[in-house]
A and B are shown apart, each in its own frame.
Chain A
């Protein structure tokens, strides 16, 4: 009986222990956050995609060879259920890394508001990083409303609109339209010749999901307003005239039957639509999946259309950009080591070139089109050249911690109803403004 009892106790205990052990991540945060024997270990979370993980592992190995006192442990950022949620859980569970990449400005604003990030401009060596990487101009748009810099942008995808050049040529155009009225002319000609085709065939334009506004409304708004800040701190500072002109333009496109808001399979690639937002990642995707999409034959790229009478050169657009942050939970030694690592990476343009070659995402620097290090790459990849040229005019997302709610309101109150013909542009803009001002209080 006694043996039975002991056996059952051991069985129950082993089940419990193994059950709980299964729940452990196996991470011992202490091991990566302490300095011993003069060696500092920093943990770096790379974006959850193999290309970026390989890049950072290679870079970290090279760095450690030259700086044996600093060990950089690169591991992939978890996505359970999103990378943002993983970071949130890690901070809450006191197991945040020293630094991570893949942070957009809106999320950085949420983290900064919660004092979870180190202002990079307070660390020694920040100014050197900016000048070494030649990114003073790019960084201006990254300053947060409290005057600090929390993110070092790694890449800046200056979003451009793709045009089906082959179809434009059939309509008698050799280049994409640049202004609203030129685009409406194209719409009329397209519908006259190809009634089943649309100018802009994209279900997302009728969807209120916050991030989707980056790739329609903000591209057009930044272009129409010359890069005016939509929100400044907790103030609604959008340019009313530019905003209303964007909504009026979209409404005009709808009235001309140029918009298709239904879910469609590869609408641009199939030619159902002739205009859509294109990021540099799409070019690599097309090479593999749609080899018939050829630069300057099937498609071309252009900055967003602007209201009539506006200068059509140096047009502002939205920048899909992410960068590196250092977490406030890191020790002073780790923060210092992190800045040393950042400086080592970005003081050498070859590292940015390596990034560009691996990811096709343009590094966030001002000299991308003038620095000789990148000349050969862009000669080999001419479709990516317009992205490099647009980097200085690319405006990053707003730095408001409520950006999700605010961008949802842009969709719900203004952009989506206008696209669907449910509101007139003026009312839509006023409704949106009122709702955003209410949310900012």
Chain B
């Protein structure tokens, strides 16, 4: 009887979140699923059920195909970049004798910065007549079309987002570094382990749980890129930086094709779910095989 009462109390305390989840996640998801099978634009008084035609059209569309491949290209650029930079930052902070918290806050600040503002600043820095480009052209004879070249544009976007997330991930990794016992390193030193072996044989395996979290989080980020791309390249050149969010935004809010945009959103969520699931399993297998997890 007591157990039953406690259960009710638990549900009651969980109810605000449950209501929130139903109102803001479950209902929109069901609504989106419904819309994706219609040609409704939310304005017209009537609509038709179109079966899977929105899905078929989306799969054939160059914008959606580009979004699919761009996400993975972006992942291959962004994830190594952000992992490497956050490990370096975490290592530096971990090695500091004092003011670790202060430096962590400093590196964390870009995460709080507005994506719109930072994108506009980068746009100014990379413009044709910016001092950097004038210098590159006049001194080194280099004329780089940073946002007009497909690879350069994707790289610039990856770099900005890596800059933004480095401090956040470094925070997680620093806590991982701090949790590694000093005794382990002391024992290794007595055994004559060099710094390279120390990193790969001690630090990396013990850091793996934190690293696993950072890797999954950073992979998740690659499926939700919008602001930087919207501000810097608009998805171009020739869809080279077109992301899922850009495509959904364009179809839903520019073309007012709510049904079609919902179908793209559903496809995007399925791709995201499956991709993250597979990558997570692969990372877990990698960790288990090496005895890290």
Using CB atoms and an 8 Å cutoff, list the residues of chain A in contact with chain B.
1, 4-5, 8-9, 12, 15-16, 19-20, 23, 81-82, 84-85, 88-89, 91-92, 110-111, 113-116, 201, 203, 206-210, 260-265, 267, 270, 272, 404-405
Contact = CB atoms under 8 A, between A and B. Distances in A.
A264 B127 contact: yes
Interface of B: 5, 8-9, 12-13, 15-16, 19-20, 23, 41-45, 123-124, 126-130, 145-148, 234, 236-237, 249, 252-256, 258
B22 to A, nearest CB: 11
Contact of A263 (B13, B126, B249): B126
A4 B41 CA distance: 49
Nearest to A201: B128
A233 B236 CA distance: 30
Q: Is the interface of A mostly helix, strand, loop or mixed?
A: helix
Given A5-B9, A8-B13, A115-B44, A208 B128 contact: no
B78 to A, nearest CB: 22
Contacts of A92: 42-43
B250 to A, nearest CB: 8
B84 to A, nearest CB: 28
Given A209-B234, A263-B123, A267-B129, 13 more contacts: A4-B9, A8-B9, A8-B12, A15-B16, A19-B20, A84-B254, A114-B45, A206-B148, A208-B236, A210-B254, A262-B128, A263-B148, A264-B128
A62 B131 CA distance: 53
Contacts, number: 95
Given A15-B16, A81-B253, A207-B234, A114 B129 contact: no
B184 to A, nearest CB: 46
A274 B276 CA distance: 51
Contacts of B5: 1, 5
B15 A12 contact: yes
Contacts of B255: 404-405
B258 to A, nearest CB: 8
Contacts of A264: 127-129
B256 A88 contact: yes
Ordered nearest first, which 3 A-B pairs have the shortest CB separation? A114-B44, A92-B42, A262-B128
A9 B9 CA distance: 8
B237 A206 contact: yes
B239 to A, nearest CB: 9
B70 to A, nearest CB: 16
Contacts of B258: 88
A91 B253 contact: no
A361 to B, nearest CB: 23
A85 B253 contact: yes
A114 B43 contact: yes
B13 A12 contact: yes
A272 B237 contact: no
10 contacts: A84-B256, A85-B252, A111-B43, A114-B41, A114-B45, A201-B128, A207-B234, A260-B128, A261-B148, A263-B148
Contacts of B19: 16, 19-20
A16 B15 contact: yes
Nearest to A267: B129
A12 B12 contact: yes
B45 to A, nearest CB: 6
Contacts of B41: 88, 110, 114
Contact of A91 (B42, B148, B252): B42
Nearest to B255: A404
A262 B44 contact: no
B131 to A, nearest CB: 10
Contacts of B126: 263
A180 B27 CA distance: 58
Contacts of A201: 128
